[in-house]
Amino acid sequence: MIRIRADFNHRDGRGRLILSDLRIHEHTPFAALAAAGKPILFVQGEDIVFGSLLEDPDRGWCGVPDWNTQDVLQEYPEPVLASRAS
């Protein structure tokens, strides 16, 4: 499975996640990830959605989310801050 950070509000008119113009993805190897054939999980904070990658001739690399799979990630055990020894 491949996890890709995304901004769920940075979408085109078709609801696709625009990825290639985000600075965090300046060096992301989208072509290799798309060719890997593994499930893609788009993540924004605790929000997740499964989908696929698509290279658009005008927009560059986009995430094609299956919005029916959108959910909130739950993590156990819940993270806690460790106390520092003085």
| pLDDT tens digits for range 9-53 | 999 999 999 998 899 999 999 999 999 999 999 999 999 999 999
| Sole residue written with tokens 């893609």 | 40
3-class secondary structure per residue, 39-65: CEEEEECCEEEEEEEEEECCCEEEEEE
Dist CA 23 CA 15 (whole Å): 20
pTM for the model stands at 0.85
CB atoms within 10 A of CB 77: 5
pLDDT (0 to 100) of residue 86: 57
